Chain A
């Protein structure tokens, strides 16, 4: 591989540039804030003849995902991108893409869902689609976005997986902030992803297939079980893809990323850009002698239960930071799944949920430090006074 280049890229530019290097056969997309720059950037690559991709400038996100389904079933490597309401409008088709086992890759720029309408970051959009059968990778920064896009293609198209993948980044915080991003050269990226060779294609007219048949009581359940099995298999297959990626690009990836957890007594679990903020707070509190750590799940689907348990096995008190509210009256989606993961397990930390940042409300180091201080009290007292709290919100 050639020497890596460092360029000033936003998260959106990183996603668009990864798409340029991946050079899918078809991209069907629709503009929506804060994702629009991905579609714009990629459209320019097409207009400039930098890629062989055929674009479908659809009239809605519902049609974007529908066209992706048609294109992918037609044997094309297919991508789109969206945010928030766009993802919500796709909802019906997300399930169909996954159950049809189509390896579509979609960067999603996380944005709050209406209503009221809000264009800024939270995770309610992708969390709302967590049961759709898509894999979900959450990215802390533009570099992770870039690398995850390339990883996602290999994961989605693996013959024993064949499932679509969302690559999520925080709206504006990551999508519009410019950072130094290390880019790989085109050839190494293309070598890594390889050529897409679909098992079935609508364009293979010598071997006609019927895609999307009516599937009633006597087969639907079996097909759903196969889909469930495929998602389970991702947990054992993806680590091999991580290893290959590391060999090729010298970059490590994992289902979860721990920070100073080895001897930590208390820890915070957070997705995406907030993990970066929390890392700074860990360093600060460590200097003061507090044994604190951070866990950043990179994947929410599949839910990396074993990796989470292993990373947090010695933790006495854990705070889960949720950038979405699932209105279960029992905490946010990350919290409920992380908490459930510890049930009937040997390690059993005290766990509290902190819902934050809805609609793009900033989270500051002071907020996170306050969470750590509460955790230290919880670990000392052995009691969680308030199981679910909202932070950074006016009463």
Chain B
């Protein structure tokens, strides 16, 4: 378990203040919490997006560690190149230190345009940690829908209108897609549960192969929330099971937090302007479906955990000849 006081003393500051991310942005909180997961030197890569543009406006950089950005859809491929250079040069004795590699991408750069490059890097087994800071839309270009945008949310390319309730499709389950690559460590985290997040980061950095953290990143601009509510609203996402906290270690799923009082998803959604229209009577059935989808997902997660943790499922026995 992480001890914040100790961590703040022993872990050097890797992302300095003075960057140009918004106050109350989830991304910078995520970066600082994730990087508390290792004391080893790190090399950071980022996909094009808010985090990249706001931390590296030439001639300034907020990064106190080596950092690379090349394009939008390829951060996993880019970091796999750096990690391979490391393995090659280490083998030749030209680099001696233990270095950790980490890639940050938003949901646009991970769920959508970067999915292929992520899949390739995971399948190849590079030793790196991929962090998706998932704010559920293309925020950097002005809140366009992504594969992560929840159904019913209004975005600028799937806006609420007279004949539209916003995005009409469900978000994809990226964490499950990543887990299907059979990598050693996959987890979902939230900044509201910092101890869980840092502990998972530690596990991710220690994994013998690729590790993936899907971390919900509030965006006050895109979600329509007060800046100071970032952590509260993140907590509601977890307590409503919109964003369950779980990990899959070597294929076995474990839920790390089960809310004692599971809240209705609208307790989370109603705090955000992107869901304002859902309060209208005409969308009552949509809200019911929203809730039903989350309940079903949560139910499946509980079953999967029971299965993975007990290991008591009986498989049909092969007949002896």
- Chain A interface residues (CB < 8 Å from chain B): 25-26, 28, 52-54, 56-60, 62-64, 66-76, 78, 92-93, 96, 100, 202-205, 208-216, 219
Taking CB atoms, residues of chain B closer than 8 Å to A73 are: 68, 81-82
Taking CB atoms, residues of chain B closer than 8 Å to A78 are: 81, 85
Interface contact A219-B80, CB-CB below 8 Å: no
Query: Which residue from chain A places its CB closest to the CB of B123 in the assembled complex?
Result: A59
Q: What's the Cα separation between A58 and B123 when bound, in Å? A: 10
User: Does B239 sit at the interface, judged by CB under 8 A?
Assistant: no
What are the 10 tightest A-B residue pairs by CB atom distance, in nearest-first order?
A70-B81, A74-B85, A59-B120, A67-B81, A76-B85, A63-B77, A66-B77, A213-B56, A66-B74, A71-B81
User: Which of B88-96, B163-171, B305-313 sits within the interface?
Assistant: B88-96
Query: Given A212-B69, A213-B57, A52 and B77 touching (CB < 8 A)?
Result: no
User: Does B61 sit at the interface, judged by CB under 8 A?
Assistant: yes
Query: Which residue from chain B places its CB closest to the CB of A202 in the assembled complex?
Result: B66
- Interface contacts (Cβ under 8 Å), in number, total 168
Residue pairs across A and B with Cβ atoms less than 8 A apart, 18 shown, are A26-B81, A56-B124, A59-B117, A66-B81, A67-B81, A67-B84, A70-B45, A70-B77, A70-B81, A71-B84, A71-B88, A75-B94, A76-B84, A100-B70, A203-B99, A208-B63, A208-B64, A215-B58
Interface contact A208-B120, CB-CB below 8 Å: no
Taking CB atoms, residues of chain A closer than 8 Å to B88 are: 25-26, 52-54, 71, 76
Interface contact B69-A213, CB-CB below 8 Å: yes
Q: What's the Cα separation between A208 and B56 when bound, in Å? A: 13
Interface contact B117-A62, CB-CB below 8 Å: yes
Interface contact A70-B78, CB-CB below 8 Å: yes
Interface contact B58-A213, CB-CB below 8 Å: yes
Query: Which residue from chain B places its CB closest to the CB of A209 in the assembled complex?
Result: B66
User: Does B194 sit at the interface, judged by CB under 8 A?
Assistant: no
Query: Given A66-B117, A202-B43, A74 and B81 touching (CB < 8 A)?
Result: yes
Taking CB atoms, residues of chain A closer than 8 Å to B52 are: 214
Other-chain contact of B117, A63, A75, A215 (Cβ < 8 Å): A63
Query: Given A26-B88, A210-B63, A57 and B124 touching (CB < 8 A)?
Result: yes
Interface contact B68-A58, CB-CB below 8 Å: no
Other-chain contact of A60, B68, B89, B94, B120 (Cβ < 8 Å): B120
Taking CB atoms, residues of chain B closer than 8 Å to A75 are: 85, 89, 94
User: Does B41 sit at the interface, judged by CB under 8 A?
Assistant: yes
Q: What's the Cα separation between A69 and B79 when bound, in Å? A: 9
Interface contact A210-B67, CB-CB below 8 Å: yes
User: Does B199 sit at the interface, judged by CB under 8 A?
Assistant: no
CB distance from B244 to the nearest CB of A (A): 30
Taking CB atoms, residues of chain B closer than 8 Å to A74 are: 43, 81-82, 84-86, 89
CB distance from B121 to the nearest CB of A (A): 8
CB distance from A33 to the nearest CB of B (A): 21
Interface contact B116-A69, CB-CB below 8 Å: no
Other-chain contact of A93, B56, B64, B70, B95 (Cβ < 8 Å): B70
Q: What's the Cα separation between A379 and B15 when bound, in Å? A: 69
Interface contact B84-A210, CB-CB below 8 Å: no
Interface string of B111-130 (1 = CB under 8 A from A): 00000110111011000000
Q: What's the Cα separation between A204 and B84 when bound, in Å? A: 15
Interface contact A212-B70, CB-CB below 8 Å: yes
